[in-house]
């Protein structure tokens, strides 16, 4: 993560601003899951969101566990 005095690359700055906006609109857990689903590495997700790759890894494991505990949705019957 960049320090406050370090000048950011413009693309990195935009990526961080977008991640910050997402984090404000949704919960951190949901943002982590979405960023992971598009193939962004866990360490990079942590960097963008101001947390560690380890935190991201734990959040993804918890999300996977919570998803496994949800009952499967039944599809509507066709007539």
- Rounded Cα gap, residues 60 and 30, in angstroms: 9
pTM higher than the cut 0.85 = no
Q: Structural domain boundaries of the chain?
A: 10-67
The answer to whether the Cα torsion of 9, 3, 41, 68 is positive or negative is negative
Quick: pLDDT tens for 25-40. 888 999 999 999 999 9
Residues in the chain where the model's pLDDT stays below 70: 1-5, 72-79
């Amino acid at each position: 993560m960049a320090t406050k005095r370090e000048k950011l690359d413009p693309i990195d700055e935009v990526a961080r601003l977008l991640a910050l906006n997402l984090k404000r609109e949704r919960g951190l857990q949901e943002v982590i899951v979405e960023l992971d689903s598009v193939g962004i590495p866990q360490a990079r997700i942590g960097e963008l969101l101001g947390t560690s790759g380890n935190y991201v890894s734990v959040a993804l494991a918890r999300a996977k566990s919570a998803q496994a505990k949800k009952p499967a949705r039944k599809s509507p019957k066709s007539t």
